[in-house]
Amino acid sequence: MELVAVYPEPPPTDLARTLDLAGYRWKAVGSADDAARHEPPTGWSGAVVACDQDPEGAWAFCRSLRKRDTPVSPLLVLVGGGQLSDLELRDDLFDDFCLTPFHPVEVEARLRHLFFRGGPETRPELVEYGGLSLNLETYQASIEGRPLDLTYMEYELLKFLAQNPGKVFTREMLLSRVWGYEYYGGARTVDVHIRRLRAKLGEEHANHIQTVRSVGYRFGQSRWGT
Amino acid sequence: MLDQQRDYVLRTVEERGVRLIRLWFTDVLGNLKSFAISPAELENALEDGMTFDGSSIDGFSRIQESDVLAIPDPNTFEVLPWGDSRSDTKATEARVFCDIHNLDGTPFDGDPRQVLRRNLQAAREQGFTFYVAPDIEFFYFAPPERGQAPVPLDEGGFFDLTTTDVAGTLRKQTIRTLETMSIPVEYSFHEDAPSQHEIDLRHTDALTMADSIMTFRLVVKEVAASQGVHATFMPKPLEGVQGSGMHVHLSLFAGDDNAFYSADDDYNLSPVAKSFTAGLLRHAAEITAITNQTVNSYKRLVPGFEAPVHVSWARNNRSGLIRVPIPKRGNASATRIEYRSPDPACNPYLAFSVLLAAGLRGISEGYELPPEADANLFEMSDADLSKLGIEQLPQSLSDSLKVMERSTLVQEALGEHIFEWFLRNKRSEWRAYKTHVSAFERERYLRAL
């Protein structure tokens, strides 16, 4: 079996012991750069990320493994009971999770199952909503069949919103889910990009993106029909 | 660069049938420069950059090594909206802004975009992001004949249609094009002077805004040219009416909070805002050569035409250099100051760099903000003004160069390379101007003397 990446560096001792006992070959890495530097020629065969020490760093690390040509998979995250809400809307960043403090047998069972299944299920390729269509395979957006030219971050933001229609997001949530925590500009960046997207969607479609007063933004109609 | 971001660009080129990718960058004087590559070269360009000979670019020349590297900033990749509308060929084009590097990968000192990046990094180290919103004025004229006075659309009888319709249509088309290029417009209107228009851009971070202004100037000119009209950002094209300025609204954010706002202050200005403003006031003369870089710029900065002449600030006084607009109640994030002297012919990267450096100097040195000057300064005598300690902005390019060359602040903000080159280039512009004998002089002296 090839190498499994383990975060952080050094990893929690009980995790290291569990992986050793289960017979995994692994290497601890402390950052995305580290992971790139130590990556075996055939790529990481998977990753285990402990989120309880430094959650922001850990999620940024997961993001770095997933946002690349060949996303690292399977990816198991270890989270504390108080961090379960962090999992929400990060489904693309991990394949399974395990609560800490963990039972070694559980981690072993979950890893075995993940490796057996062989990676995450494929995601739908098309997102469509009210005349707007996003092809996730080709990165192309169109509106009423006409191409919509977007910058990379505009595309990522629209994709995220359109994949979660009817749901209200705060600026902070959008910033952390679309840009990642490592982005410096602050939630103001979100407003700037929303304004740019609305301008590009044009008058007819600009109202797909609704401002929810003193909360944030919502794509499409509210699920409660208001 | 994220692999996914690179993929996004490459895939878009393929899917949209882009035939040509224009690599954009800016010379020291603020002219947009471009060279085009084919899609086949793009992947390599994104990875390693494209080498070119910098010696033909204003302000890029160096004594030995003249090759530099243009590395595209994939965030700025954008399909150009005028590409496929051109009838037969359907050759879609895209553009991407570049950072210029030396061959060893270090930032190239002669690249204004790198200079702004360096200054923004200094702000970031103090916990600030710098936001800018410009109000840009310009004129529409009939295509100019060499040596002839410009003919405004409103009066020239150049068009058979009612001219306001032509200008209005142009402006609408311009705004639509800007918005498809990620440049949202806040307001637009016909200005006081004949054929003069103003478009106000919505605030964004300073680097994006400098890129946007470069795009803006091209879009305004392109759209006008498509209708046989000449658009100009010359600061004072017509005598006797107001010139074209580029007021810039400035604010610093610390994370999500506007660092200029304070609920406790009478003016709702934080100590950061006050010392930033004080820094701009104290260093205003030193940075004027950068914000107003042509001989013609100083013909705009005269009393009576809504352009600032005096170095002062006030909340609601449009005769001073800095105005502090009063934001709508409860809108703390809109707190900002408006710096009124720059004109749209400046290099936005360098102008934002020196404005930021002056403001940050005020913060780091804890400058005191002088009292507000709320009287109409144009109506005060020089004696009264000097009693208040209110000075004038430099009166000519020559004056402002003299102040700039003694400024360590500007030297540090621009870096040695651009600082030296700019002074050399502009001194020679001034010398050329000095040898010119104008119509004014012949009119006044030829018969009398």
Q: Do B75 and A187 touch (CB under 8 A)?
A: no
Chain A hits for B204, Cβ within 8 Å: 192
Within 13 Å, how many C-alpha atoms sit on residue B362's CB side? 23
Set out the domains of chain A in order of their start, with CATH numbers.
Answer: 4-117 (3.40.50.2300), 126-219 (1.10.10.10)
Whether A215 and A168 have beta carbons less than 8 Å apart is answered as yes
What's chain A's Rg over C-alpha atoms? 19
Residue B211 in tokens:
């890129």
d(CA A160, CA B122): 32
Q: Which residue of A has its CA nearest to B209?
A: A192
Edge-to-edge strands of the sheet including A26-28? A26-28, A4-7, A46-50, A75-80, A96-100
The whole-number pLDDT of residue A123 equals: 43
Residue whose token pair is 């007819």? A204
Nearest CA of chain B to the CA of A146: how many Å?
Answer: 11
Q: Do A188 and B253 touch (CB under 8 A)?
A: yes
Sequence-separated (6 or more) residues with CB below 8 Å from residue A90: A59, A62, A177
> Of B9, B79, B182, which has the smallest distance from its Cβ to A196's Cβ?
B182
Closest of B329, B322, B327 to residue B278, by C-alpha: B322
Residue B301 in tokens:
């900065």
How far apart are the two ends of chain A, measured CA to CA in Å?
Answer: 54
d(CA A23, CA A25): 7
Instruction: Write out residues in chain A with pLDDT < 70, as ranges.
Output: 1, 117-124, 181-184, 222-226
Mean local confidence (pLDDT), B72-80: 93
d(CA B286, CA B412): 12
The whole-number pLDDT of residue A119 equals: 44
d(CA B410, CA B356): 11
d(CA B287, CA B293): 10
What is the amino acid identity at position B253?
F
Q: Do B180 and A200 touch (CB under 8 A)?
A: yes
Instruction: Say what the pTM is.
Output: 0.81
| Confidence label for B252 from pLDDT (cuts 50, 70 and 90) | very high
Strands A132-135 and A126-129: antiparallel
The values of phi and psi at residue B163, to 5°, are -65, -30
pLDDT tens figures, B181-223: 999 998 887 777 778 899 999 999 999 999 999 999 999 999 9
The whole-number pLDDT of residue A225 equals: 46
Q: Do B205 and A189 touch (CB under 8 A)?
A: yes
Residues 74-133 of A with CB under 8 A from B: none
pLDDT tens figures, A115-128: 876 544 334 578 88
Q: Which residue of B has its CA nearest to A141?
A: B12
d(CA B36, CA A61): 37
Whether A73 and A95 have beta carbons less than 8 Å apart is answered as yes
Q: What angle do CA B22, B245, B224 make, to 5 degrees?
A: 45
Whether A151 contacts chain B with CB within 8 A = yes
The whole-number pLDDT of residue B250 equals: 97
> Of A139, A184, A187, which has the smallest distance from its Cβ to B12's Cβ?
A139
Closest of B8, B137, B146 to residue B76, by C-alpha: B8
Residue B387, classed as helix, strand or coil, is helix
Set out the domains of chain B in order of their start, with CATH numbers.
Answer: 3-108 (3.10.20.70), 119-444 (3.30.590.10)
d(CA B271, CA B51): 46
Q: What is the DSSP string of B286-317?
A: HHHHHHS-STTHHHHSSTTSS---EEEEESS-
Residue B219 in tokens:
């879009």
Sequence-separated (6 or more) residues with CB below 8 Å from residue B40: none
Nearest CA of chain B to the CA of A211: how many Å?
Answer: 16
The whole-number pLDDT of residue A1 equals: 52
Mean local confidence (pLDDT), B423-442: 96
What percent of chain B has pLDDT above 70? 94
d(CA A191, CA A171): 8
* DSSP annotation of B136: E
- Which residues face A147 on adjacent strands? A142
Mean local confidence (pLDDT), B407-412: 98
